[in-house]
């Protein structure tokens, strides 16, 4: 059982939870400054962590189930656990249901509004799995799936929603769509042959990379706006410098004629971006700046 669980966790790349989780924690830390304690409780942080892990695990396993036949015919993904027959669809469905229940339970333990909105969140994160079959801009839908994390965390802390959370969510949408476009460049031939939609398959790699750059420029601008709205100062402002450098480096790693460094651009830089922003936000929250909202 433990071996099967490990295979499933490896299949869904559980370590990639680091992409969206730090943004959720940034929102939670900023939102909690309006509370008497000025900081989230350990229970709140724990339930947010479980909700994030549950939601992403559920969504990724559902995606692997929906895409099993596609993955089987794609040389890049044919060795994944489901198409390779290492685990069964039944085992994957059980894991999906368990992690979904974990997400709903964690939402309910946070507050009533989080619980009521949990079905909508599931609809978004599951629905993404079908979008590549009929829309070129499926990357933006993936961005929305990750981008709801900061707003969800804000709701988890306060039971309400505020403008800083929405701006941070918009930044995550643009950031995610931008790096997903880069990642999709490696499947351009397969997508075209299989009748699947992606921005690189529709417009070609050079134009797709330009659009990715524009999305990341928008993401950085929104991150600056978030810091201003949330009255974050030195720590957050300092963290924006390496974020800008990492976004720039990400696009330097990938060229229309050389996609060999996509994994470095996708995994390394994006994981660092979210962690750096969390560190900067945490520093400012601990200092205790006032907030305008």
- Spell out the per-residue pLDDT of the chain, length 293, in tens: 788 888 887 887 877 777 789 999 999 999 998 888 788 999 999 999 999 999 999 999 999 999 999 999 998 888 888 999 899 999 999 999 999 999 999 999 999 999 999 999 999 999 999 999 999 999 999 999 999 999 999 999 999 999 999 999 999 999 999 999 999 998 899 999 988 989 999 999 999 999 999 999 999 999 999 999 999 989 999 999 999 999 999 888 888 877 777 776 667 788 889 999 999 999 998 886 545 44
Write the pLDDT tens digit of every residue in 107-141. Answer: 999 999 999 999 999 999 999 999 999 999 999 99
* DSSP one-letter string for 97-148: HHHHHHHHHHHHHH-HHHHHHHHHHHHHHHHHHHHTTT-TTHHHHHHHHHHH
- Give residue 20's pLDDT: 85
Q: Domain 2-287 maps to which CATH number in 1.10.357.140, 3.40.50.720, 1.10.30.50, 3.30.390.10?
A: 1.10.357.140
Backbone angles phi, psi at 67, to 5 degrees: -95, 10
| Residues 6 or more apart whose Cβ sits within 8 Å of residue 250 | 179, 182, 216, 265, 269, 270
Helix or strand (DSSP H, E) at 160: none
pLDDT score of 268: 76
Query: Quick one: which of 51, 80, 52 has its CA closest to 67?
Result: 80
Q: Are 12 and 138 in contact (CB under 8 A)?
A: no
Cα-based angle 226, 228, 233 (whole degrees, multiple of 5): 110
- Please state the pTM of the whole predicted model: 0.91
pLDDT the model gives residue 290: 47
| Angle value at C-alpha 252, between 249 and 258, nearest 5 degrees | 140
């Amino acid at each position: 059982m433990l071996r099967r669980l490990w295979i499933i966790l490896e299949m869904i790349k559980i370590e990639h939870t680091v992409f969206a989780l730090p943004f959720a924690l940034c929102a939670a830390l900023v939102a909690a400054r309006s509370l008497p304690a000025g900081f989230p409780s350990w229970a709140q942080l724990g339930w947010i962590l479980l909700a994030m892990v549950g939601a992403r695990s559920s969504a990724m396993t559902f995606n692997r189930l929906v895409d099993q036949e596609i993955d089987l015919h794609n040389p890049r993904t044919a060795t994944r656990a489901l198409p390779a027959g290492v685990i069964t669809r039944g085992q994957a469905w059980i894991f999906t249901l368990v992690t979904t229940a974990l997400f709903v339970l964690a939402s309910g333990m946070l507050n009533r509004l989080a619980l009521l909105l949990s079905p909508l969140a599931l609809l978004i994160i599951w629905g993404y799995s079908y979008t590549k079959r009929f829309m070129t801009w499926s990357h933006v839908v993936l961005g929305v799936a990750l981008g709801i994390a900061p707003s969800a965390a804000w709701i988890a802390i306060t039971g309400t929603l505020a403008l800083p959370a929405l701006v941070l969510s918009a930044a995550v949408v643009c950031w995610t769509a931008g790096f997903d476009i880069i990642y999709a460049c490696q499947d351009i031939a397969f997508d075209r042959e299989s009748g699947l939609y992606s921005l690189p398959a529709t417009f070609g790699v050079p134009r797709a990379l330009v659009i990715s750059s524009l999305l990341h420029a928008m993401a950085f601008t929104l991150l600056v706006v978030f810091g201003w709205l949330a009255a974050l100062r030195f720590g957050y402002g300092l963290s924006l410098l390496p974020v800008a450098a990492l976004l720039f480096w990400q696009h330097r790693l990938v060229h229309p004629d050389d996609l060999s460094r996509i994994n470095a651009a996708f995994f390394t830089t994006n994981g660092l971006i979210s962690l750096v922003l969390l560190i900067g936000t945490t520093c400012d929250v601990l200092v205790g700046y006032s907030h305008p909202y």
